[in-house]
Amino acid sequence: MIADEFVFDEHPKPQEIEIFLEGHPQNNLLQHTCWSQVKENWAMKQVVVRRGGTIRAYAMILIRPLPLGLKLFYIPHGPIVNYQDEALIRFFFTKLKKLACRSYAVTIRFDPNLIDRTYPYAKRNEERGDHQQGNVIQLLSTLKCKHKGYTLYLKEATQPRFQAVMLQENMSWEALNAKTRRSIRHAEKCGVMIHEGEDQLNHFAEVMKLTEHRKKIHLRSAEYFKRLMSLYGERAVLMTASLNLKQRHREITELLRELQEKSHELNKNEKEQIVNLNREQEFLEEKMQEGASEVTLCGLLALIQDDQMEVLYAGTHSEYLTYRAPYLTHWKLFEKAQKMGIRRCNLGGVEGTLDDGLSVFKGNFPIQIEEMIGEFEIAVMPVLSLLTNQGITWLKAVRRWKVKKC
């Protein structure tokens, strides 16, 4: 064998894969073995390309069984490879297609971890410049990899194309704007408490269920979250925010008493404060009459991979938004990330319009938007691939319909 020849290896050692990923700019959570263990009913296969004995390309393939012994190949946020090396790309994808054929996979889906454009959220309405990965799309198209386009909405792709990312240099109190600081202080002043750990799992799952009903979407069960926590251990961060209604009610009563006992005539701000406190007191009394005592206001679940953190799930109790608990929860997450030396914290996907509620909330922090290159598909068995895509689309539509009917 000539030393400069590419070699496709279907049985690489886990240790050498970890070494390759650790130093690679495309390294990400979804291409590590642990993520495959999260996905129930999916098998996993790791492959690499070597040159001179050194790994040059890698893919963790998730394999979903289909009827009649067929399969679907999916490479989340991968493959990990230098997409500027045309010879390597052509060799790698030719081998991937042959592997898919041997495995009776009807299609290969993949979404490379390549940023197409990036800009601060605060400058979202300015000119964003040209797409940066056009040459990669062109090269992959010559290998019959169909680009699904520059999708705008979350429902259009398997992985969100628009990501909200907090960089390490912005995870400081000084980097926050005045509005966000006020919201964090307001939550603390109202007595919002932050909790962290696996013992918060049930509270978190309850908030996520409320989020499901409010947004009419299907998320995950408590068992799924438990499996994530178990698999990732110390690399899983679960945070919730709670409010003790009785304690807050007592605080309001005391504040109202102090305001009403003031000897001087109340000014405009003090009068407004009394109105707001009375309104809040009535709200708390109503909730306590319904049996509530301590309420989980919001929660988030994040996973850590090397020097990166990714928030996979977050939910909020919409009836308690005035306490601004999500601001405090995210701030505590950033404080933790700072202490751990996290280089970047991905807050998850947002709609490409960047004007929906989720985008606006995340944009209250000094985030940057990263537009990814998007999703590709190789129809290994074109007719069956088309039928599979139609079937999956139909199943998703049925699932959304069932959720909306609930």
Across residues 250-268, what is the average pLDDT? 88
| Bridge partners (DSSP) listed for residue 105 | 71
Coil, strand or helix at 312: strand
Residue 102 pLDDT level (bands cut at 50, 70, 90): very high
Q: Is the pLDDT of residue 398 over 50?
A: no
**Phi, psi of 190, rounded to the nearest 5 degrees:** -80, -5
Amino acid 384: pLDDT: 74
Q: Where are the domains of the chain?
A: 6-111+375-405, 172-341
Amino acid 244: pLDDT: 97
- The two three-digit tokens of residue 274, written as one number: 């009394």
Across residues 358-369, what is the average pLDDT? 97
CA-nearest of 158, 147, 135 to 77 is 158
Residues 147-166 as b/e (b if ≥16 CB within 10 A, e otherwise) read: beebbeebeebebbbbbbbb
Amino acid 6: pLDDT: 97
CATH fold for the domain made of 6-111+375-405? Aminopeptidase (3.40.630)
The C-alpha atoms of residue 184 and residue 173 are separated, in whole angstroms, by 10
By DSSP bridging, strand 71-75 and strand 105-110 are: parallel
Q: Is the pLDDT of residue 394 over 60?
A: no
pLDDT in tens, 144-193: 999 999 999 998 999 999 999 999 999 999 999 999 999 999 999 999 99
pLDDT in tens, 194-219: 999 999 999 999 999 998 878 767 77
Across residues 126-141, what is the average pLDDT? 95
The C-alpha atoms of residue 377 and residue 266 are separated, in whole angstroms, by 67
Amino acid 3: pLDDT: 45
Across residues 77-102, what is the average pLDDT? 97
Long-range contacts formed by 52-58: CB under 8 A, 24+ apart? 52/3, 52/4, 55/12, 55/16, 55/17, 55/20, 56/6, 56/81, 56/82, 56/85, 56/88, 57/81, 57/82, 57/88, 57/92, 58/12, 58/17, 58/20, 58/21, 58/31
Across residues 242-258, what is the average pLDDT? 95
Across residues 364-369, what is the average pLDDT? 98
Token pair 């642990």: residue = 34
What CATH architecture applies to the domain 172-341? 3-Layer(aba) Sandwich (3.40)
Is the CB of residue 204 less than 8 Å from the CB of residue 240? yes
Residue 129 pLDDT level (bands cut at 50, 70, 90): confident
Amino acid 390: pLDDT: 64
Q: Is the pLDDT of residue 406 over 60?
A: no
- The two three-digit tokens of residue 210, written as one number: 């409320």
The C-alpha atoms of residue 163 and residue 363 are separated, in whole angstroms, by 11
Q: Is the pLDDT of residue 28 over 80?
A: yes
Q: What percent of the chain has pLDDT over 70?
A: 93
Amino acid 265: pLDDT: 81
CA-nearest of 163, 220, 170 to 337 is 170
Of residues 316 and 221, more confidently modeled: 316
pLDDT in tens, 303-331: 999 999 999 999 999 999 999 999 999 99
Q: From residue 235, give the alpha-carbon distance in Å to each of 158, 220, 306, 342.
A: 24, 19, 9, 12
pLDDT in tens, 229-245: 999 999 999 999 999 99
Coil, strand or helix at 276: helix
Amino acid 401: pLDDT: 45
Q: Does this chain's domain 6-111+375-405 share its CATH topology with 172-341?
A: yes
Amino acid 40: pLDDT: 83
Q: Is the pLDDT of residue 395 over 80?
A: no
